[in-house]
């Protein structure tokens, strides 16, 4: 059965890089000038961490438990989204350094296709459900755009091999929904068909290297 949501690439917009070399040169000069202070600060901070670890381990031993770390089991399931009597819950897994967090998802009533994967915190309400961002990898940007029908429980793969976790969704002047992808060197702009049922779309951005639209429903 064919996809009920059609995603089409509208255009590619090249990003200006005229100030890039000047900015990089300035950063290099700043690092060279501040390098001695950075080394000294790093040594002092390392000594502080060692002393703190020794002190905390000693206190933890006296209390019969460790004071470090947070077990994964302590991460609780929170209600994230809800529609038509079905709840979508998420549980924090981890976060990319200087980047977004990713989560496990589960639905009530259950949707089996959600199990065993990680998802970003981006979503967009669309038709009778939500557009979601599934992460194929957590150490490298490789994601999928999926549509989850909250009424029927259907799970549909729309785009794959997306080389970013940042998305921006916008309502255009004609009322259609567009998704904007920032690859670092260019902006890829997609449009979604059947946009008349869109109620709301949040703000974030996406990037892509090789995209394909599957013919089969997942």
Residue 74 pLDDT: 56
Run means of pLDDT, 10 residues per run, the chain, 218 residues: 73 70 77 82 84 69 40 76 95 88 95 92 90 90 90 93 82 82 77 54 36 41
Residue 209 pLDDT: 33
DSSP the chain: ---SS-EEEEEEEEPP-TTHHHHHHHHHHHHHHHHHHHHHHHHHHHHHHHHHHHHHHHHHHHHTS--S---GGGPPPEEEEEETTEEEEEEEEEE-TTS-EEEEEEEES--GGGTT-EEEEEEEEETTEEEEEEES-SSS--EEEEEEETTT--EEEEEEEE--S--EEEE-TTS-EEEEEE-SSEEEEEEES-GGG--B-----B--SS-B--SS--
Residue 197 pLDDT: 41
**pTM, rounded to two decimals:** 0.63
């Amino acid at each position: 059965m064919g996809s009920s949501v059609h995603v089409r690439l509208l255009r590619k917009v090249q990003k200006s890089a005229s100030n890039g070399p000047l900015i990089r040169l300035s950063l290099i000069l700043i690092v060279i000038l501040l390098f001695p202070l950075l080394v000294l600060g790093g040594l002092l901070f390392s000594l502080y961490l060692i002393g703190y670890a020794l002190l905390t381990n000693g206190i933890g031993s006296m209390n019969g438990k460790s004071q470090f770390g947070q077990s994964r089991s302590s991460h609780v399931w929170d209600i994230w989204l809800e529609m038509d009597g079905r709840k979508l819950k998420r549980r924090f897994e981890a976060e990319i350094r200087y980047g977004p967090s990713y989560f496990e998802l589960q639905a009530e009533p259950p949707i089996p296709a959600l199990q065993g994967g990680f998802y970003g915190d981006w979503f967009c309400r669309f038709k009778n459900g939500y557009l979601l961002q599934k992460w194929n990898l957590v150490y490298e940007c490789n994601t999928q755009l999926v549509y989850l029908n909250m009424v029927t429980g259907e799970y549909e793969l729309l785009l794959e091999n997306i080389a970013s976790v940042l998305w921006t969704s916008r309502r255009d002047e004609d009322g259609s929904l567009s998704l904007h992808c920032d690859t670092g060197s260019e902006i890829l702009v997609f449009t979604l068909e059947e946009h008349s049922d869109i109620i709301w779309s949040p703000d974030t951005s996406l990037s892509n290297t090789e995209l394909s639209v599957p013919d089969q429903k997942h």
